[in-house]
Amino acid sequence: MAWEDQVAFVTGASQGIGEACARILAAAGAKVVLASRNLERLEQLAKELQGARNDPSCAFALPLDVTSEDQIKEAFKKALDHFGRIDILVNNAGVTRDGLALGMKRRDWDEVIQTNLTATHLCIQQVLRGMMRRRYGRIINITSVVAFLGNAGQANYVASKAGIIGLTRAVAQEYASRSITVNAVAPGFIETAMTAALTPEAQEKLAARIPLGRLGQVLDVAHAVKFLASEEAGYITGQVLHVNGGLYM
């Protein structure tokens, strides 16, 4: 299927990896649904993508708080009403609420699991019927290298990202017969607003742990997402593509 015939729905699209994924899929020719809590930024991004493509119909911004099941259902309904289909789903929205396990507050545990894991499941549910009817779909879930390495002070985040891997493999098995592929991308340490808040010394220490000697860029992750969303990746499902500069081998 040509990129021009496809619609991609990207959660957490207002910044970082989600924004990069939206940009690279739009540049390939797909129509994109931009979803996050920051509608003002999404609308600005939509105008940029529309201008770059000279196509006012190529991007559609939607407010979405993925901790609300009702908002998830409403956002996907609006996207389907607008474009008529969703061929690619990129589950990128995520949060951290760090703290040592002994003192971790229940609300911090619940928020991270709800945002990172439960919302991924709920968003997948919204696209499966349409993908099953068309016997085609690409679902890409953003997990993390810490799902494999662990990370002190992030028991909730690590658990949520490890859960995404299990969810990815289970759904991949359930819907492979309908030509729906379900894969995950596991970024390592990527230059985002989160890592920008670290001191230069802390960033240097992070980079020193990485065999390639640098933090990754959001486009490194977005290119991996684009590949898994492509026709060329049609025989890949239930897999985790690591994008971490060799941090986890």
CATH number, domain containing residue 123: 3.40.50.720
Calculate the alpha carbon distances from 188 to 1, 81, 217 in Å: 31, 36, 10
What pLDDT shows up at residue 198?
Answer: 77
Say if 161 falls within a structural domain.
yes
What pLDDT shows up at residue 195?
Answer: 78
Please report how many Cα atoms fall inside a 13 Å half-sphere around the Cα of residue 21, on the Cβ side: 35
Say if 241 falls within a structural domain.
no
**What is the average per-residue pLDDT within 142-160?**
97
Least confident of 70-84, 93-107, 171-185, 202-216: 202-216
Say if 245 falls within a structural domain.
no
Of 196 and 116, which is predicted with more confidence? 116
Q: Checking DSSP bridges between strand 240-243 and strand 59-63, what pairing results, if any? A: unpaired
The answer to whether residues 183 and 171 touch, using CB atoms and an 8 Å cutoff, is no
CA-CA distance, 132 to 127, in Å (whole number)?
9
**What is the average per-residue pLDDT within 63-85?**
98
Q: What is the overall mean pLDDT for the chain? A: 96
Say if 182 falls within a structural domain.
yes
136 is catalytic: no
Say if 249 falls within a structural domain.
no
CA-CA distance, 43 to 49, in Å (whole number)?
10
**What is the average per-residue pLDDT within 171-183?**
98
- Write out the two tokens for 220: 């490194």
Cut 0.75: pTM above it: yes
Question: Number of structural domains, the chain?
Answer: 1
Say if 221 falls within a structural domain.
yes
Residue tagged active-site, from 157, 175, 235, 248:
157
Number of residues written out for the chain: 249
What pLDDT shows up at residue 238?
Answer: 98
Calculate ∠ Cα 56-220-23, nearest 5°. 5
The answer to whether residues 35 and 82 touch, using CB atoms and an 8 Å cutoff, is no
Domain around 149: 3-234
